[in-house]
Every structure is written in C-alpha cells, then in structure tokens.
C-alpha cells in the first residue's frame, strides 16, 4: 500500500508540474503586451514608461529566469498581483475559494445521495424501474445546466419567492440564509451528476448481480436483501467511485456557468471578470488553482480505489 501511495503522489506531482508549465507558456503566447494593458491601453504612454512596467513585472528577463521565478512563486503561494486592483491574486482567490468548494461539496453530496440509491433500485428491480430511471436520467443529461438554472430562478425565486435568486450569505452571519442561498445552485449543479452516478450504479449492480458467487451466496440460504446490501452493492462501488471523482473534478468547470447564473461569489466569477478585464495574473492564478484542485481530487479517488480494490494496488 505504501508503494502504491508513493507512485500515485509522484504521478500527481509530475502532472501538476506539467500543468503549471503549460499554463506559463500559454499565457506567454497570448497576443498583446501586458505592460501596455497595465498602462490602461493609453497610446500616449511613453516607451520608457512601458519599459519600466516590464521591468517591474520581470518581463525584461530571459524566459528561463521568468519560468523559474514563476515556479518558485507558485510554490510559495505568490500568484502575482491583479492588473485591475493591484491586490495579490492569492488573497482574492482565497476569499472566494471557500464559496466554490462549498458549492461543489453540496452538489456532490446531493448527487451521490440521490444517484446511488436510484441506480441501485433500478439495477435490482429492473423492468419498469430500469425504464423509469433511464428516462429520468436522459432528461437530466439532455437539458443544459444554464437552462435548469434559469428555470430554477424563474420558479423558486421570481414566481414562488421561496429562495433567493443569487448571492450567498456567510454561514456565520445567518446559517439558514446561507443554506437557502446555497440550495438552488447546488441542486442545479448536481442534476446531471446524479444522473451519471445513477446510470453507473445501475450498470455496476446488474453486472455484479449476474456473477456466479452471487447465485452461490443465495443458494446457501442468505436472503436476497442481505446478499444485495452486503455483497452486491459494496462490490459495485469501484466504478462508481471512479465516476464520482471525475465528475467532481468536472464541477470546477461547470461551476463557471452556475456561478454566473446565480451571481454566486466563487472563483469562477473571478475568472470571468479577469477574462473580461484582460487581467492576466487573475486568469492565470484561477486556472492554476482549478488545475491543482482537479489533480488533488483525482489523487484522492485513486487512493480510495486502491483501498476498495486491492487488485488496483497490484496493477
């Protein structure tokens, strides 16, 4: 198990380095002069003034030195300063990151709590239950998330006035207000995810139920309920765990739309504002954080998969 953990952690570190490298060179290939952008696009700005800005940003140094300083800065938590506000990018991200993590965690819990029982029920009952599950999940996957979000705001906020249309109240100030503000974005984000989890659970349950050892356990006198709950469902969780990890990582991308629809104060909103203002340090910092979070999530999934299935550790 120790060697398995070492291999997975080493792979995650190498992957993080590759991602950071790609982000650095991608930013440097973007057309335009950051110094000119920082000067506000003022065509009357002198070349000497632009050169001073480049020197202050370190853009006059060789590319290799810039790359080394960039890696050292990221490792030290220094993601630069915003062109628009002059504030450290790391501080701006840290202020908004908890809201995004809360949204992703709430959506994941809702999707798992709904998807696994629904898929297990369909895989066990089959027949009409299977057809119903397939129909419901097909609709959930077919409707775009921004359409679901807009309909949710129209019904629950504008028409029925049950939940706020956007924003988020800090939990310390108003716990109930926090939950009410989190509910609509989390449910909207979790719908498609719950459909994927339900389908994967249903497929895994059907495959596991057809194994010879399941029929053998039943022939020994164990009840079907006990065989299903203790053996079939547990042995069906390996592919589900993999899908859950991948989908939670994809939440980081889907949350961009959700946060915009619900005016949610997360890092995705910060990313969109940075792109609109051509604030390169903010865009770079948010992309770095999202990429590292995705790698960490997949590392945790790999470790959980190895715990659940010893064959994965051997391979």
**Of 109-113, 114-118, 169-173, 234-238, the least confident:** 234-238
Binned at pLDDT 50, 70 and 90, residue 89 comes out as very high
Tell me the two tokens of residue 11.
Answer: 């792979």
Highest mean pLDDT among 17-26, 183-192, 268-277, 279-288: 183-192
* C-alpha 261, offset from chain centre: 17
Binned at pLDDT 50, 70 and 90, residue 119 comes out as very high
Sign of CA pseudo-dihedral 237, 242, 248, 251: negative
Span 202-212, pLDDT tens digits: 999 999 988 88
Mean pLDDT of the chain: 85
For the segment 12-41, the average pLDDT, to the nearest whole number, is: 79
Looking at residue 137, its pLDDT comes to 95
Instruction: Tell me the C-alpha distance between 74 and 310, whole Å.
Output: 35
Residue 181: closest CA among 262, 111, 114, 100: 262
Looking at residue 225, its pLDDT comes to 84
Q: Is the pLDDT of residue 41 over 60?
A: no
For the segment 159-184, the average pLDDT, to the nearest whole number, is: 91
Measured in degrees and rounded to the nearest 5, phi and psi for residue 88 equal -60, 135
Instruction: Tell me the C-alpha distance between 109 and 111, whole Å.
Output: 6
Looking at residue 315, its pLDDT comes to 57
Looking at residue 37, its pLDDT comes to 66
Span 278-291, pLDDT tens digits: 777 888 899 899 88
Domains of the chain are: 2-75 (no CATH), 93-314 (1.10.3720.10)
Q: Is the pLDDT of residue 19 over 80?
A: yes
Stronger pLDDT, 171 or 60, i.e. the higher one: 171
Looking at residue 297, its pLDDT comes to 84
- Bridge partners, 88 (sequence order): 81
Looking at residue 142, its pLDDT comes to 93
Residue 276: how many CA atoms within 13 Å on its side-chain side?
6
Looking at residue 99, its pLDDT comes to 93
10 Å Cβ neighbour count for 203?
16
For the segment 159-180, the average pLDDT, to the nearest whole number, is: 91
Instruction: Tell me the C-alpha distance between 179 and 171, whole Å.
Output: 8
């Amino acid at each position: 198990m120790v060697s398995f953990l070492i291999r997975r952690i080493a792979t995650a570190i190498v992957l993080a380095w590759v991602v950071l490298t790609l982000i650095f060179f991608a930013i440097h290939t973007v057309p335009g002069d950051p110094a000119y952008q920082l000067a506000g696009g003022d065509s009357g700005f002198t070349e000497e003034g632009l050169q001073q800005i480049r020197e202050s940003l370190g853009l006059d140094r060789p590319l290799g030195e810039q790359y080394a300083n960039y890696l050292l800065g990221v490792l030290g938590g220094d993601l630069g300063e915003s062109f628009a506000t002059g504030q450290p990018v790391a501080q701006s991200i840290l202020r908004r990151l908890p809201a995004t993590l809360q949204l992703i965690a709430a959506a994941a819990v809702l999707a798992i709590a709904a998807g696994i029982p629904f898929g297990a029920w369909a895989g066990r009952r089959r027949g009409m239950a299977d057809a119903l599950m397939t129909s419901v999940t097909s609709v959930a996957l077919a409707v775009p998330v921004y359409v679901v979000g807009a309909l949710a705001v129209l019904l629950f906020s504008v028409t029925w006035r049950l939940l706020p249309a956007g924003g988020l109240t800090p939990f310390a100030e108003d716990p109930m207000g926090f939950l009410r503000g989190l509910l609509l974005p989390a449910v909207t984000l979790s719908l498609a995810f719950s459909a994927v989890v339900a389908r994967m659970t249903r497929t895994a349950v059907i495959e596991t139920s057809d194994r010879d050892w399941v029929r053998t356990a039943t022939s020994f006198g164990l009840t079907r309920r006990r065989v299903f709950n203790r053996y079939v469902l547990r042995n069906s969780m390996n592919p589900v765990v993999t899908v859950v990890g991948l989908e939670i990582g994809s939440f980081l991308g889907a949350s961009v739309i959700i946060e915009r629809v619900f005016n949610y104060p997360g890092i995705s909103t910060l990313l969109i504002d940075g792109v609109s203002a051509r604030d390169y340090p903010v865009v770079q910092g948010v992309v770095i954080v999202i990429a590292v979070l995705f790698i960490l999530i997949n590392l945790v999934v790999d470790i959980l998969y190895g715990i659940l299935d010893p064959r994965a550790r051997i391979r």
